[in-house]
Amino acid sequence: MQTLSTYSIYFEKEIGNYRFPISPGNLYQPLDYFLQLGGKRIRPLLTLMASEMFGLPKENALQASMAIELFHNFSLIHDDIMDKAPLRRGKQTVHLKWNEDIAILSGDVLLIKAYQALAKQEVRHIPALLDMFNQTAVEVCEGQQMDMDFESRDQVAIEAYIEMIRLKTSVLLGCALAFGAIVSDASEKDRTLIYEFGQNLGIAFQIQDDILDLYGDPEKFGKQIGGDVIANKKTLLLLKALELAQHNPETNVEEMLLIEDQVLKIETAKSMFDSLGVLAFAREQMTFYQNKALSALKEISVSSERKKTLIELSEYLFQREV
Amino acid sequence: MQTLSTYSIYFEKEIGNYRFPISPGNLYQPLDYFLQLGGKRIRPLLTLMASEMFGLPKENALQASMAIELFHNFSLIHDDIMDKAPLRRGKQTVHLKWNEDIAILSGDVLLIKAYQALAKQEVRHIPALLDMFNQTAVEVCEGQQMDMDFESRDQVAIEAYIEMIRLKTSVLLGCALAFGAIVSDASEKDRTLIYEFGQNLGIAFQIQDDILDLYGDPEKFGKQIGGDVIANKKTLLLLKALELAQHNPETNVEEMLLIEDQVLKIETAKSMFDSLGVLAFAREQMTFYQNKALSALKEISVSSERKKTLIELSEYLFQREV
């Protein structure tokens, strides 16, 4: 069994060697720049790990893992335009460093490059990879649209929120793992199980992100603590608080949303969320999806020994304790 | 042999039946709207016609033709954002009727839907269709980037301009026809020839468009005559004029570019282009690519009888006489 860092070093090297054409420079330079911003590359590692778990050397799954990473970066470039984000991984976003038109068009070509990577896998696997990829890519767009729609709504049901994060971020983790299953000719059942593992792991991870934003260790979290509260972002915590407050006339969440002083706002939100039991609820939800993920992994018909790297990865993802 | 209108009626009916999901409405309603704006649907007809020319009923090439039309519409939605176009086929563009974010994301999902249509063809044809489609889609983006780059340049060589229109618009015509060849198991040689036919037809058509913009019959052209001149657009005519004027010190093209009065500007451009021989040059170029297209079609190993629909289509495209 290989360790996490073996996969990571391998993929970093391969993506470092990935070359876009020289010309037109305004189309491809932004992509060279963006891919080199780095990131954890969790998604492509999932493809490589799943492939080896099912018995195929990771090298034979490289193009499928590349497709996943290119797609992920496409979605980030376009999302950054829509979110008007100035920074990505501490550096200027493409639409600011160049301009919006270039960000749109480079993003487009990056999505096509993802399909081009996928098309380099063995011919007999291409139709299945393509179906999985198309479905996932459509869902990611639907999730992004739901996220934008939710911003302008007063209330969002918890189920709708979970469905949004499932589409926007979690299905791609499922797809990355299913790619590993497809290229290594795993059974249909195992492919579904590994997809379920990834999807539920993704939901749990997003919920953890919502929790850490307010309750995380500032040293470890790497972002400003309370950023979501300050921005009135509709996280699982806020949505649950709004839901519970309907039956608690003494708790006025709307009032908290209007507080301008950042420190006071964060303190008020925290104590409100604590008294409503919102933190406990979010933790339960996270554990629920973590368990769902692990039980799908357990059912997969390969030895526990072979599952160790994926378990190691899940533990790594959830080591940012709350 | 079926006539042009048989194909047209068939495809209109099929695309009229094409349904996007209901939700999220903000993602899919713009696409329902945009696809219903119509257009000549030349590209998907090329797929259907090529398929029948090579002996496969058009119904079996429907999904491939749909992929071409969906892709074309994706590129229009995103180009309209970049060109800040207020109207498309006389109706509001998506980025104005909704907003830019929605136009970006609906465009993205439409590109993916094109791949989804392609994936519905027979499994054994998918890898070849995918390769052809990926290559073409990348080239279309490269052409669009070149077009944007040219806007801010003083001089553009004629060869570079032809290469830009080849990439931006003509390769998709080649791809549409090659799709028909792939799904009907035509030989590699015939596939290349039909691609060449489409690509050169496309270049000739774009050159005709440049000519008609200034010299067309206002009744037939459907757009404002001289629009390109008024906007100082770098058409084949203007680029050739700039090139020739370098050796004609008495002709000051730059001065014409600065004229503000529209009628005077158009008159000045016309007489300048006439005296430089620019119109004659453009016509020669158009004929050159038309002939290249027709000689590729001639070489294809099917009876002349079977080629009649495609010849009818080319005649239809060039009936807007100049």
* Alpha-carbon radius of gyration of chain B: 20
| Domain assignments of chain A as residue spans, ordered by start | 1-186, 187-322
Verify whether the Cβ–Cβ distance A127 to B126 is below 8 Å: yes
pLDDT at A149: 96
Place of tokens 């299913």: A178
B222 pLDDT band, cuts 50/70/90, is low
Q: What is the mean pLDDT of residues A289-309?
A: 97
ipTM of this complex prediction, to 2 decimal places: 0.96
Query: Does residue A141 have a pLDDT over 50?
Result: yes
How many residue contacts between A and B have a Cβ separation below 8 Å?
110
User: What is the distance between the alpha carbons of residues B81 and A112, in angstroms, rounded to a whole number?
Assistant: 19
- For A174-188, how does the pLDDT look when each residue is reduced to its tens digit (9 = 90+)? 999 999 999 999 999
Residue B265, pLDDT > 60, answer yes
- What are the pLDDT digits (tens) for B1-53? 578 899 999 999 999 999 999 999 999 999 999 999 988 999 999 999 999 99
The reported pLDDT for the residue numbered A213 is 92
Tokens 């070489």 -> residue: B299
Inter-chain touch A24–B146, beta carbons under 8 Å:
yes
What integer is the mean pLDDT of B226-237?
Answer: 94
Q: What local confidence, expressed as pLDDT, does residue A2 receive?
A: 73
Q: Considering CB atoms only, which of A81, A116, A127 is closest to B134?
A: A116
Mean pLDDT, all residues of chain A:
95
- Distance, CA of B143 to CA of B166 (rounded, Å): 8
Identical fold, B1-141 and B187-322 = yes
How far apart, in whole angstroms, are the C-alpha atoms of residue B237 and residue B273? 7
> Do B145 and A24 count as a contact with CB atoms less than 8 A apart?
yes
Q: Nearest chain A Cα to B144, which residue?
A: A105
Query: Is the distance from CB of B296 to CB of B197 less than 8 angstroms?
Result: yes
CA gap A265, B25 in Å, rounded: 34
Cβ contact A141–B101 (<8 Å): no
Q: Does A257 touch chain B (CB under 8 A)?
A: no
pLDDT at residue A322, rounded to an integer: 47
Round to whole Å and give the CA distance between A43 and A19.
Answer: 20
Q: A34-38, A122-126, A221-225, B242-246 — which is least confidently predicted?
A: A221-225
The percent of residues above 90 in pLDDT, for chain A, comes to 89
Strand partners for B91: B88
Q: Are B245 and B251 in contact (CB under 8 A)?
A: yes
Cross-chain Cβ contact A119/B109 below 8 Å: no
Which tokens go with A190? Answer: 């195992």
Fold type of domain B187-322? Farnesyl Diphosphate Synthase (1.10.600)
Q: CA separation (Å) from B266 to B70, B215, B232, B245?
A: 37, 10, 11, 18
Q: For chain B, positions 91-130, list CB contacts with chain A under 8 A.
A: 100-102, 104-105, 107-109, 111-113, 115-116, 119, 123, 126-127, 130
A114-123, A296-305, A313-322, B1-10: the lowest-pLDDT one: A313-322
A273, pLDDT greater than 50: yes
Verify whether the Cβ–Cβ distance B115 to A134 is below 8 Å.
yes
**B74, B106, B112, B123: best to mutate for the A interface, most A CBs within 10 A:** B112
Least confidently predicted of A127-131, A222-226, B207-211, B264-268 = A222-226
Are the Cβ atoms of B123 and A119 closer than 8 angstroms? Answer: no
> In terms of CATH, what superfamily is B1-141?
Farnesyl Diphosphate Synthase (1.10.600.10)
Q: Give the pLDDT confidence score for residue B322 in this predicted structure.
A: 47
- What is the CA A153 to chain-centroid distance, rounded? 23
| pLDDT confidence bin for B320, thresholds 50/70/90 | low
The per-residue pLDDT for range B87-129, each reduced to its tens digit, is 999 999 999 999 999 999 999 999 999 999 999 999 999 999 9
Within 8 A of B108 by CB-CB distance, chain A residues are: 78, 107-108, 111, 141
Say how far apart CA A207 and CA A158 lie, in whole Å. Answer: 12
Q: How many helices (H) and strands (E) does chain B have?
A: 17, 2
From residue A290, alpha-carbon distances to A64, A198, A226, A283 in Å are 26, 10, 24, 10
Model pTM score: 0.96
pLDDT given for residue A224 in this prediction: 74
Out of A27-41, B43-57, B223-237, least confident range: B223-237
Per-residue pLDDT for B219 more than 80? no
A1-186: CATH topology: Farnesyl Diphosphate Synthase (1.10.600)
Model pLDDT for residues A200-250, shown as the tens digit of each residue: 999 999 999 999 999 988 777 666 789 999 999 999 999 999 999 988 878
> In chain B, what residues touch A127 (CB-CB under 8 Å)?
119, 123, 126-127
Within 13 Å, how many C-alpha atoms sit on residue A262's CB side?
8
| Residue in B108, B111, B130 closest to A119 by CB | B130
Per-residue pLDDT at B154: 85
Residues 194-213 (B) with a CB less than 8 A from some CB of A: none
* Alpha helices (H) along B83-226: 94-97, 100-118, 126-151, 158-165, 171-183, 188-215, 218-221
Query: Alpha helix (H) ranges present in chain A?
Result: 4-17, 25-35, 42-53, 62-82, 94-97, 100-118, 126-151, 158-165, 171-183, 188-215, 218-221, 227-230, 236-245, 253-258, 262-276, 278-299, 304-317
A175 or B225, which is more confident?
A175
